[in-house]
Amino acid sequence: MVVMNKIMLIPILISFGIVGTLSFILISENSLESNISNSNYKNNFTFHDIEKIKKSLTTQNIFVSSSVVITDQTIDQYCTYFDSTNNMRTVDYCTTTALLNSDGKTIGNLNMGGTSDEPIMALAIIDASPSLNSKKDEINIVFQTMIQTLICDCWEMHRPGGFESIQSWLDAAEEKYNMSLQTTLKSEITGLENKSLILEITSTGESYLWTLIVLN
């Protein structure tokens, strides 16, 4: 059984932006120049989808705690997005869960934010240390499950960005990051079932934060 005191909240150390169908951008950790265009898409995911993610991850030995609502002033650190006028917006309602491995250790969080009725965004963040690929298996499992549950199990059919699989997209991002001297790499894919996917890798100096954002 997962207990509440195992929840570890990892702040978002990312910047957002729509930059085309696919791109890799190297940015400094302080860069916040960006824009998200928020559209009302059909077939949006809901807060109930966390239960589907939880069930799928459990079969792969990754466990999800019960959702906790963030109500204090730190809400903007965990559920944030940029509107079409490039203004950073906080949400009215934000939930977080802890992601735990088979040893019961917290490896990251899965957050959703929006209104109490409908999320605008979902975000998974995994802390990898000491090396960039220390949590490679967990990252692949969590990010693939998130995309397949919240968007569709149709990546191989559409091959967004020319990538034959989700894992090949993640591998390409890792390779680009290893070749760079920058702190943060961002890659975005838009248009998959009218959703936006933003992948970021950021070094904190002690570990690497892998973040995937899905926007309704």
The band of 91, judged by pLDDT with boundaries at 50, 70 and 90, is confident
pLDDT, position 109: 94
pTM: 0.82
The candidate with the shortest Cα–Cα distance to 118, out of 150, 78, 146, is: 150
Average pLDDT, the chain: 81
Q: Cα–Cα distance between 113 and 169 in angstroms, integer?
A: 25
The band of 182, judged by pLDDT with boundaries at 50, 70 and 90, is confident
How many C-beta atoms lie closer than 10 Å to residue 6's C-beta? Answer: 13
pLDDT, position 156: 92
The band of 49, judged by pLDDT with boundaries at 50, 70 and 90, is very high
pLDDT, position 43: 67
> Taking 70 as the threshold, does the pLDDT of residue 208 lie above it?
yes
Decide if 183 contacts 202 (C-beta within 8 A): yes
Question: In angstroms, what CA-CA distances link 57 with 5, 50, 101, 120, 148?
Answer: 20, 10, 10, 22, 12
The band of 17, judged by pLDDT with boundaries at 50, 70 and 90, is very low
The band of 87, judged by pLDDT with boundaries at 50, 70 and 90, is low
The candidate with the shortest Cα–Cα distance to 141, out of 110, 103, 172, is: 110
The band of 7, judged by pLDDT with boundaries at 50, 70 and 90, is low
Q: Cα–Cα distance between 82 and 65 in angstroms, integer?
A: 28
pLDDT, position 85: 52
Phi, psi (deg, nearest 5) at residue 162: 85, 5
The candidate with the shortest Cα–Cα distance to 71, out of 125, 118, 126, 9, is: 9
pLDDT, position 12: 55
Beta strand pairing status for 195-203 and 208-215?
Answer: antiparallel
pLDDT tens digits, one per residue of 152-161 = 999 999 999 8
> Taking 50 as the threshold, does the pLDDT of residue 27 lie above it?
no
> Taking 90 as the threshold, does the pLDDT of residue 172 lie above it?
yes
Q: Cα–Cα distance between 137 and 31 in angstroms, integer?
A: 29
